[in-house]
Amino acid sequence: MTAKIDIRHIPHATPTPADVRAKLIADPGFGKIFTDHMVTVRWSADKGWHDGQLRAREAFTLDPAAAVLHYAQEIFEGMKAYRTPDGEVLLFRPLENARRFNRSAERMAMPALPEEIFLQAVEALVRADVDWIPGGDGASLYLRPFMFADESFLGVKPAGSYVFCVIACPVGAYFKGGAKPVSVWASQDYTRAAAGGTGAAKCGGNYAASLIAQAEAIRNGCDQVVFLDAAEKKWVEELGGMNVFFVFDDGTLQTPPLTGTILPGITRDSIIKLARADGMIVNETPYSFAQWQADAASGRLREVFACGTAAVVSAIGTVRHKEGSFTIGGGEDGEITRTLRARLTAIQRAQAPDTMGWRHKVVV
């Protein structure tokens, strides 16, 4: 049995002319330029998933009482489509996004979306907007599947209707300055997620809660915030939207374990698998902020990097906190960071054999 649905194509009346599009995707930045189309699929308690549409990207009409505006039932995913040197279009482990989307949905009391429909919608949008995939180094088409509750009702309960949507942005590098290490602010006043909370779900609310800490990071001259655990304010968890890895002088790697308060990144998982396949030891064990400071001072800690779909792999060079600051690896992009970034991006862009079976070709 297949769970696929019909996605009705409603032609775009005024698609962006090719010359305008070419200018837009030449230097797209991140998250500012959107493609012509979107896919929407609706869910209601009586009909289930229905009314799939591929159509012009346009504003939603929302009732002021729509549940998402009041109780924040909203989840999302982030993934990329890559254009290869041969002109093929590839997704990277898209079923992992579909599965995580459903784990997020379950936590937020939202309906599960069959993995086939998730993939069908993403592929339909990539196909419709294939000419928006930038070809440049480090460029890709960022895909944003998301779901929100649109029932108008002010009672506190899981909503009875939802919209699933996919939009896309041509993107370049996430951090301006490319491979230059980023600085992070260790937040001691704000936490991101507590045990039993929504830290492992990719929901908009987690980001809303992180923005004040991110603003504090910027005020303190840092690019990003790194969160400590909510219970003891002792253990390093992750950045606002990226997982974190530590590299030691004996060649081992360490990353905080997935205990429910950390987002299980697909990049994190891929880095762990690639490093282990290369014979490296990766420990998924807690790492305290005090130990981080001590290991940076002693030189035992050689490299630190953050990773996620948007920013890929970014070295962390400087850490600031209320009592001071310290640097790692002389503020340079380290060798293992560089190697793992190159290994991952080569697989994503079909510049290396797909030994893990991670590439997913979109027939365009």
Ligand X SMILES: *Cc1c(COP(=O)(O)O)cnc(C)c1O
110 touches ligand X (CB under 6 A): no
CA pair distance 105, 74, nearest whole angstrom = 8
Stretch that binds ligand X, among 60-68, 119-127, 145-153, 237-245 (CB under 6 A): 237-245
Question: Smaller CB distance to ligand X: residue 161 or 270?
Answer: 270
Closest-CA residue to 110 (of 97, 118, 101, 119): 101
243 touches ligand X (CB under 6 A): yes
Q: How far is the CB of 265 from ligand X (least distance, A)?
A: 3
Residue count, binding to ligand X (CB under 6 A): 13
Q: How far is the CB of 198 from ligand X (least distance, A)?
A: 10
78 touches ligand X (CB under 6 A): yes
Q: Which of residues 280-319 bind ligand X (CB under 6 A)?
A: 308-309
Residue 222 has which token pair?
């840092």
CA pair distance 310, 252, nearest whole angstrom = 25
Question: Smaller CB distance to ligand X: residue 140 or 243?
Answer: 243
Q: Which of 111, 170, 241, 334 binds ligand X (CB under 6 A)?
A: 241
- In 3-state terms, what secondary structure has residue 184? strand
E-strand stretches of the chain = 7-9, 37-44, 48-56, 74-76, 79-83, 89-92, 140-149, 161-171, 182-187, 224-228, 236-239, 243-248, 253-255, 282-284, 301-308, 312-321, 324-327, 359-362
145 touches ligand X (CB under 6 A): no
Contact yes or no for 242/308 (Cβ under 8 A)? yes
191 touches ligand X (CB under 6 A): no
Stretch that binds ligand X, among 153-161, 164-172, 241-249, 276-284 (CB under 6 A): 241-249
Q: How far is the CB of 230 from ligand X (least distance, A)?
A: 14
Per-residue contact flags (x/-) with ligand X for residues 323 to 362, judged by CB under 6 A: ----------------------------------------
Alpha helical stretches, state H, the chain: 18-26, 67-71, 94-107, 115-128, 204-219, 266-277, 289-298, 335-348
Q: Which of residues 259-278 bind ligand X (CB under 6 A)?
A: 263, 265-268
Q: How far is the CB of 238 from ligand X (least distance, A)?
A: 5
Q: Which of 238, 295, 303, 333 binds ligand X (CB under 6 A)?
A: 238
What is the number of residues in the chain? 364
Q: How far is the CB of 294 from ligand X (least distance, A)?
A: 25
Question: Smaller CB distance to ligand X: residue 114 or 264?
Answer: 264
Stretch that binds ligand X, among 218-226, 236-244, 289-297, 356-364 (CB under 6 A): 236-244
Per-residue contact flags (x/-) with ligand X for residues 6 to 45, judged by CB under 6 A: ----------------------------------------
Amino acid identity for residue 350 in this structure: A
Contact yes or no for 132/82 (Cβ under 8 A)? no
- Can you state the angle between helices 94-107 and 266-277, rounded to 10 degrees? 130
φ, ψ dihedrals at 284, nearest 5°: -95, 80
CA pair distance 142, 171, nearest whole angstrom = 6
Stretch that binds ligand X, among 182-190, 258-266, 274-282, 333-341 (CB under 6 A): 258-266
Residue 192 has which token pair?
């991101």
- Site of interaction with ligand X (CB under 6 A): 78, 202, 238, 241-243, 263, 265-268, 308-309
